[in-house]
Amino acid sequence: MSIINAVDIAHVRFVVPDLAAQRAFLKDFGLIEVGEQAGWVYLRAAGPAPFCYAVREGDARFAGFGLLARDLADLHAVAAHDGVPVEPLDAPGGGWIARFTDPDGIPVEVVAGQTLAEPLPTVRPDTWNEGDGHQRIARFRRTATGPSTVLRIGHVLLSITDFARTEPWYKDRFGLLTSDEIQPAPNVAIGAFMRSNQGETPSDHHTVACVQTGGPPGLLHSAFEVLGLDNLMAGHDHLKAQGYTPSWGIGRHILGSQVFDYWRDPHGFEIEHWTDGDQLRASDGGGRAGMDQVLGVQWGMQMPAPPAPPG
Ligand SMILES: [Fe+2]
């Protein structure tokens, strides 16, 4: 029994030396600035979350991520468990925040009581004329060009040093459930794709994923859901036309099944557009997966080899 069941991921925070370059990239990625508070620039997606990305100027670093608590009572419960204060959240939407540090020193913020924003209007993609039944009759498919329509933040993938420590840390506090445990050899667990526990309400296949990489702990990527496949492809063309650096994609993951498109922001942080991911209820349980499934694709571009270490 966990202290709370976190509802979802809420946001990510970054510190970067070239704030102007980062802001330009994020606009082309599809995020929308909603203001500056206490030195942070806040950006939202089209969904109702008041913000999902925060960035400020300084030496480049990943400054942590936020999880959404169901309500203030849950926020107080989990804060009390670790003896950390609940403080006002000085950000768009207001609310309250408690700040934690995971076993690898990664900042984890839990938020609650935010005032939701009015969702931004989006153009829903028309029906696909799939081969087994044509639904779109005398309507012509046209896809808008420009940045993808980002709906929400979906997950982070963390590099960790010790899964045996990290897994209970997240599960005990936030009630995360394993969708797929990463086992490079039978009964050798080095990470997991974990989802939120919302009972019979389906949630993303993974909200927080972590894996022992052998490298330093921190963020491997943050990921944002877009409107659909055409929207993802149009966003890919847009980022490419602006001269940004594609990282991996386009393809379809095995674990989570998302169609993915990874980019490097101007400071080298990896960031993902995805669509059409798997949804699981708490009762759907979890599985195990080898590295071939973690890194493999159902179709599309294979994961590029990591850059050679210096020297
Ligand atoms: Fe991802």
What backbone phi and psi angles, to 5 degrees, belong to 125?
A: -65, 145
Positive or negative, the Cα torsion across 264, 64, 207, 41?
Answer: negative
Region 76-102: mean pLDDT is 98
Angle between helices 163-174 and 72-82 (to 10 degrees): 140
Average pLDDT over the chain, rounded to whole? 96
- For 96-203, where are the alpha helices, taking DSSP H only? 163-174
Q: Which has the closest alpha carbon to 204: 212, 214, 194, 213?
A: 194
**210 has a pLDDT exceeding 60:** yes
pTM: 0.97
Tell me, in angstroms, the distance from the centre of ligand 1 to residue 98's CA: 25
Instruction: Measure 80 CA to ligand 1 centroid, in angstroms.
Output: 31
Reported as a single tens digit per residue, the pLDDT across 8-47 is 999 999 999 999 999 999 999 999 999 999 999 999 999 9
Distance 260 CA to ligand 1 centre (A): 7
The tens digit of pLDDT for each residue in 219-265 reads 999 999 999 999 999 999 999 999 999 999 999 999 999 999 999 99
140 by Cβ neighbours in 10 Å (0-12 / 13-18 / 19+) ranks as exposed
107-128 confidence digits (pLDDT tens): 999 999 999 999 999 988 899 9
Quote the CA–CA distance of 249 and 260 in Å, as a whole number: 6
Of 123-127, 192-196, 269-273, give the lowest mean pLDDT range: 123-127
d(CA 1, ligand 1 centre) in Å: 27
CA of 53 to the centre of ligand 1 (A): 16
